[in-house]
């Protein structure tokens, strides 16, 4: 197997042990309840080494997910600007990632999530803690409505990725991104800030 960095094999084994422990902890306990301390304990290393290798808990989670992108870097652009445009900007950014080489990792993640309950749980934690929480925190809506709003957004975006990149249903599969932004942006906007069923 190709090594991704020039680090020595010994370090690679340690990194892998940490990633394995992290995947297990994030999947079984969820992102919030999983602790760097417990992950380090499972991997048999000092917590400081986990921070040294991977940085924050968010960054460790992204590494454990093999995420090719960091929503924490992408989302500020989506959230900057008027609240009425978040839907379109979120769809545009989402398509930008999926239409890039990073989309292959996304397809691999979807494949794994539909066949493996463990990965499905990681994907759920990723969507919730890395994407939705950051977006929802910025909205001027009832706090109690946030979980439903967030999961509705997820239905539309994951379905877009499925149809465009996995099932490849035309014309969505090869449509100009801006056509999809114009068509689907208002849906995401309504889920985020529009009226919800009581």
* Residue 53 Cβ vs a second copy, minimum distance, rounded to whole Å: 29
> What burial letters (b/e) apply to 4-28, b meaning 16+ CB within 10 Å?
eeeeeeeeeebbebbbebbbbbbbe
Q: Which stretch binds a second copy (CB under 8 A): 2-10, 54-62, 134-142, 164-172?
A: 164-172
User: Which residue number, 141 or 166, has a Cβ lying nearer to a second copy?
Assistant: 166
> What's the burial of 43, exposed, middle or buried (CB within 10 Å: 0-12/13-18/19+)?
buried
Q: Does 179 bind a second copy (CB under 8 A)?
A: yes
Which of 41, 85, 96, 186 is in the footprint of a second copy by CB under 8 A? 186
Q: Does 143 bind a second copy (CB under 8 A)?
A: no
Distance CA 150, CA 145 (A): 9
Handedness of CA 143, 146, 118, 75 (dihedral sign): negative
* Residue 21 Cβ vs a second copy, minimum distance, rounded to whole Å: 23
- Residues 98/165, Cβ–Cβ less than 8 Å: yes
Question: Interaction with a second copy in 103-132: which residues (CB under 8 A)?
Answer: 107, 110-111, 113-115, 120, 123-124, 127-128
Q: Which helix (H) or strand (E) element contains residue 124?
A: helix 117-125
Q: Which stretch binds a second copy (CB under 8 A): 2-10, 59-67, 93-101, 146-154?
A: 146-154
Distance CA 190, CA 141 (A): 12
Neighbours of 191 (CB within 10 A): 20
User: Which residue number, 90 or 127, has a Cβ lying nearer to a second copy?
Assistant: 127
- The site for a second copy, by CB under 8 A, has a size of 45
Which residues here bind a second copy, judged by CB under 8 A? 107, 110-111, 113-115, 120, 123-124, 127-128, 147-148, 151-152, 154-160, 162-164, 166-173, 175, 178-179, 182-184, 186-187, 190-191, 196-197
């Amino acid at each position: 197997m190709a090594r991704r960095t020039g680090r020595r094999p010994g370090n690679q084994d340690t990194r892998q042990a940490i990633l394995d422990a992290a995947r297990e902890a994030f999947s079984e306990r969820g992102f919030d309840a999983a602790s760097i301390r417990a992950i380090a304990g499972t991997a048999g290393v000092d917590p400081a080494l986990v921070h040294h290798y991977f940085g924050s808990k968010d960054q460790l989670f992204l590494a454990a997910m093999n995420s090719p992108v960091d929503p924490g870097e992408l989302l500020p652009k989506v959230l900057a600007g008027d609240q009425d445009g978040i839907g379109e900007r979120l769809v545009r950014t989402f398509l930008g990632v999926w239409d890039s080489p990073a989309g292959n990792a996304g397809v691999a993640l979807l494949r794994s999530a539909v066949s493996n309950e463990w990965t499905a749980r990681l994907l759920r934690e990723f969507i919730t803690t890395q994407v939705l929480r950051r977006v929802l925190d910025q909205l001027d809506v009832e706090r109690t409505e946030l979980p439903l709003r967030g999961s509705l957004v997820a239905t539309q975006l994951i379905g877009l990725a499925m149809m465009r990149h996995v099932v490849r249903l035309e014309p969505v599969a090869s449509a100009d991104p801006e056509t999809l932004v114009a068509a689907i942006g208002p849906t995401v906007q309504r889920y985020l800030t529009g009226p919800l069923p009581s």
